Amino acid sequence: MASPRYRPAGPGAALAGRLDDWLVSDARAELMPAIRTLARRRSVEPAVKRFERGKLSITPRRVVHTSHPAFGYLIRAPRKAAVWATEFYRFPRWARGADLMFADAAGWSRPIRFTGGVGGHAAALDVARSARRAKVRRLVFAHVGRPTIRALDRGEAFPFGELGKERQAYGS
């Protein structure tokens, strides 16, 4: 997403250290040409796919977002589950009970509907309520759009959850 204040995990984001794979949520996203270029420099091919290493598994799961397939990821480690679902129109049921969820906050009090009614982005306030009902333990908003930025600048706050921060470590 081309946020006016927050960089995506793609072009412009700092990549350091070893990179085992590059998982994407939308293989047809607008950032894909630049992501492919960056990934090839690191000898990986970006794709929607499953990743396993030891007791860690990362599994793509469908989300309602656009007219073509889009995905989030269910991340499992011993006794912990995290969700990466930063773009969706409808809260993903498979996020239920996650210890940590990274979620969409493109819209604030109303969803953003794509032209032609083919999906869009959920409203951050709805995501917060849905995550609480789904018993998500910690909610981090990682896809922050202009409506949410304006609301936060006005002093409004999430009823549940927090704004993600670059270079912040999450988890326990």
Is residue 8 very low, low, confident or very high in pLDDT (cuts 50, 70, 90)?
Answer: low
pTM for the whole structure:
0.88
Tell me how far apart the alpha carbons of residues 172 and 134 are, in angstroms, rounded to a whole number: 20
pLDDT digit string, tens, across residues 144-156 = 999 999 999 999 9
Q: How many residues make up the chain in this entry? A: 172
- Average pLDDT for residues 64-68, to the nearest whole number? 83
Is residue 115 very low, low, confident or very high in pLDDT (cuts 50, 70, 90)?
Answer: confident
**pLDDT at position 10, please?**
46
Of all residues in the chain, what percent are helix, strand and coil, respectively (each to 5)? 20, 30, 50
Long-range CB contacts (< 8 A, 24+ apart) of 111-120? 112/145, 112/147, 113/89, 114/66, 114/67, 116/67, 118/66, 118/67, 119/64, 119/65, 119/66, 119/67, 119/70, 119/89, 120/65, 120/66, 120/89
CB atoms under 10 Å from CB of 22, counted, come to 20
